[in-house]
Structure 1
C-alpha cells in the first residue's frame, strides 16, 4: 500500500528530537556568549593543538637624531601548548519497557534534557580546571580588578570588562540581605553587580574560599568541525559553531531508543598571566 501523503514518519520524530536537543544546548551557550559579549565559537579541526600566548618585548624609546637610522622595537610571541581540541562521545539507551511504563516524554525527552545539562557541566568543569593553571595573581576581593588592570597596563593592554567566578557559599550570607537581581546562564547564577564588583558568576566549580577573575577578552570558545564526520557517514544534527552533534535512532536488536551526543566544545583563557586568584577570608 502506498504511504499517505504528508504522514509523520519515524524519521521525522527522530529528527525533531535531534533538533530540540541541539536547540536547548545552543540556547544556553548563546546566552552565555551574549552575557560575556563573546564572538561566535571558532571552528577548528579535532586534534588541533590549543595554545596560550604571551607577548614580550618593549618599545625602543631612545631619541633619534636627524637623519639617523630609527632603532627597531622588538617583540616576540611565546606559544605554549596547553591542550588538544578533541571530541567527547556520549550515549544513552532507553528500553521499550521504560518508554511504555513512563511514557515517551518522561523516558526519552526528560532524560535527554538531563543528559545535556550534565554535558554542559562537564564543559564548565574543564574550563575551570584550565583556569586554575593560570599564574593566580593574589588579590583581595575589593582589589582584584585593580590588580588585573595594573598587570594589563604594565603590558600595554587593557580590559573592557573583568569576569569573576566565585563559589555560591562565599557570598550567600551577603545575598540574604541584599537587593540583587540574578539570572541563570549556562548553569551558573549570574550577578551583574555585587559589593562594587561587576560580572560575577556563582558556581560550585570554583572551590569555596576562592575567586577567579580574568578579562572577558581573554576567554575564547572553540568548536570542532563536524563536516568530516558527516563525510564518513556519521550524521549528526548540529548548528553553526561545532559545539554539539546529536543523533537519535531506534535499536531493534535491544528494543530500545538510543541517544548519541558528541561535543567538540572547549573554553580556554588565552593568556594565563591575565588570571587573578582571590582568597576570600571569612568576614572579609
Structure 2
C-alpha cells in the first residue's frame, strides 16, 4: 500500500480562490479606467454619487420674470424671478448581472480562457447599456435645420453654431453623436484619425466639436449637445452593501464585481452590479439635425 503524503498533489488551496479575486480586481479596474477616460473624452466635469432610486430632473430653458430695472435712486430694487422648468425625469437604479462558466467549458478551454471570454462579453454588454441609455435621452433633442443640407460637415457646423447660441453666456465644447457610415461616407477621400474610448470611436473637428460614432445612432441624423451640459450620476460601489457581499470595486466607484465557485452546479459564477447614468441637465441644450432631409418647419 502506497504511503500518502500531505499536502496532496493538486489540492485546492487559497491560491485557487485568490485567482478568482484577482479576476474581479482586474475587470473592475479596467471598467473604471475605461469609463473614466470616456467621461474625460466627452468633457464631463460633474459627477454625482447617489443612492439607488434617486430621481434626476431634466430641465428645459428656465422661465425668467425680469423686473423693471429702471429704479430711481434710493428706492427698493424689485425682485426678478428665475424658475427652473423640469420637463422629464430619470430614476437611477442598481443594475445586477450574473453569469456562470461551467466545468465543461473550463475543462475544454482552461479556467482563464473560459471565464475571461464570457466575462469580456458581459462587460461589453454592460458598457453598451450605459451608452444606450445616454442615446435614448439625447434622441429627444429638438430638431433644427441643417445649414447645408446633404452634408455631415454642414450638420456638424450647424450643431456648433446652434449650441453656441443656446449657451451664449458660456464657453462650451460641442459633443456630437453620428452613425459611423455617415462619417465613413463624408470622409471617404480624407484622412481621419480615430481614437477609441469605452467602445466608441471619436474624432475632433476644426471647430473643436468631438464627434463620437455609434451604430445606435440612425443613419442620416446627428445629435449634439454641450459637454458642459452632460453629467454623470452613479450609485457608489464602495458602499456598505457592496462590502457585505465581498464585491471588488474599481477606484472610481462605478462597478462592483465578485467571482466565486458553486460546487452544487460545478460552475464559476460572475456577479456584478452597477448603476451609472450619463444625462443632459438641459434638454433644450440637446439638438437633432438631419444630414440630408428637408428643412424643419418652424413652430407657430
TM-score, with structure 2 as normaliser: 0.84
Q: Distance in 2 between matches of 1:41 and 1:11?
A: 34
Q: Does 1:220 align with 2:227?
A: no
| 1:226-272 CA distance string (max 9 Å, x none) | 314236x3221112443211110001111110111111111111110
Of the candidates 241, 259, 267, which is equivalent to residue 229 of structure 1?
241
| 1:27-53 CA distance string (max 9 Å, x none) | 211111221232363110001111113
| Post-superposition offset of 1:159 | 3.9
Give the 3-state SS of the residue equivalent to 1:9 in structure 2. helix
Give the root-mean-square deviation of aligned CA atoms. 2.2
Of the candidates 253, 256, 263, which is equivalent to residue 252 of structure 1?
263
Q: Is the 8 A contact 1:58 1:74 kept in 2?
A: yes
Partner of 1:191 in structure 2? Answer: 203
Q: Distance in 1 between matches of 2:129 and 2:242?
A: 25
Partner of 1:94 in structure 2? Answer: 101
Partner of 2:164 in structure 1? Answer: 149
Partner of 2:290 in structure 1? Answer: 279
Give the alignment of 1:66-145 within 5 angstroms: 66-140=73-147, 141=155, 142-145=157-160
Q: Is the 8 A contact 1:137 1:275 kept in 2?
A: no
Stretches of structure 2 that go unaligned for 5 or more consecutive residues are 1-5, 8-12, 148-154, 294-300
| Post-superposition offset of 1:186 | 1.1
Stretches of structure 1 that go unaligned for 5 or more consecutive residues are none
Q: Distance in 2 between matches of 1:30 and 1:230?
A: 20
Q: Distance in 2 between matches of 1:14 and 1:120?
A: 22
| 1:137-160 CA distance string (max 9 Å, x none) | 44441322112222223xxx4242
Q: Does 1:167 align with 2:179?
A: yes
Q: Distance in 2 between matches of 1:137 and 1:61?
A: 33
Q: Is the 8 A contact 1:159 1:216 kept in 2?
A: no
Q: Distance in 1 between matches of 2:145 and 2:87?
A: 23
Q: Distance in 2 between matches of 1:270 and 1:40?
A: 11
Of the candidates 35, 41, 63, which is equivalent to residue 41 of structure 2?
35
When structure 1 is superposed on structure 2, of 197-206 and 76-85 the one drifting more is 76-85
Q: Choose 1 or 2 for highest CA Rg.
A: 2
